[in-house]
Chains A and B, each alone.
Chain A
């Protein structure tokens, strides 16, 4: 299993994102004995699935093909012991519906808040997964706006770029995107200053310093770093 099943991309992704994995010596399992001892069968390897608070869920004995192991993992994730309780699932379903409407209406801050609230609820849930997907899309949209702001700056439309980034930072407060928007805002200020110096020529020493500052200090907003690097090459 170690060489053919566990390295499979889909299995690795599921294990790393949804489970904590531990490998023990079956002949000397130590404290894992209490869960491995509940696995039926005598053929190695044993796989025991355990709740975060240590309760045995299920187990298997013997080699599992990639397809079977994946089905085992997915089955464990559907176990009631690991699911969000029904009352909270109802709440999450409502949150997911609202988040979908907010995403449609481009209310990014509301989507991000729904994601944070959903993540605070422990357990597997389809509604949580749905909210996570909406969040991922909102962040991707944020990245696109940073790119748009860099393009506006390239055309000398600094006011528009600044307004776009300012709104983005407000919408994405408390996320990586807010940091990227802040870095972008700093870059816009530098580009604006550079534009005032001899029509923004990269040959002016003061401008070179400003572009170098962008490269050094605005790494969270890569489109701006690319723009500054291009100017430095001019």
Chain B
């Protein structure tokens, strides 16, 4: 029951209740494909591994 209500709340308030944590992909080409599919820009974080 809670799940259904939470789904509705998320749907109802996309501006206020968006996910708070970003998911960071690790493969550039996959990320680019997803960006094309969803029509969103990419943020590419280039850091030192480890």
Contact = CB atoms under 8 A, between A and B. Distances in A.
Interface of A: 2, 6-7, 9, 11-13, 15-32, 35-36, 39, 44-54, 57, 73, 76-77, 82, 122-123, 129, 132-133, 135-136, 139-140, 142-143, 175-177, 180, 215, 219-222, 225-226
A20 B48 contact: no
A225 B4 CA distance: 11
A133 B47 CA distance: 36
A24 B21 contact: no
Contacts, number: 176
B45 A21 contact: yes
Interface of B: 1-5, 7-9, 11-16, 18-32, 34-36, 38-49
A218 to B, nearest CB: 9
Given A47-B46, A76-B41, A22 B19 contact: no
Contacts of B35: 20, 50, 52
Given A17-B19, A21-B22, A143 B46 contact: no
A140 B41 contact: no
A20 B25 contact: yes
Contact of B22 (A12, A35, A50): A12
Contact of B18 (A16, A122, A143): A16
B40 A136 contact: no
B35 to A, nearest CB: 4
Contact of A22 (B2, B4, B27): B27
B19 A44 contact: no
B14 A136 contact: yes
B25 A222 contact: no
| B3, B11, B46, B48 pick with most chain A CB within 10 angstroms | B46
A45 B47 contact: yes
Given A13-B20, A139-B11, A24 B43 contact: no
Contacts of A15: 22, 43
A23 B47 CA distance: 7
Given A50-B42, A136-B12, A220-B4, A30 B47 contact: no
A35 B39 CA distance: 18
A20 B31 contact: yes
Contact of A49 (B19, B22, B42, B49): B42
B36 A139 contact: no
Contact of B43 (A7, A21, A225): A21
Given A22-B28, A140-B12, A16 B19 contact: yes
Contacts of A180: 4, 8
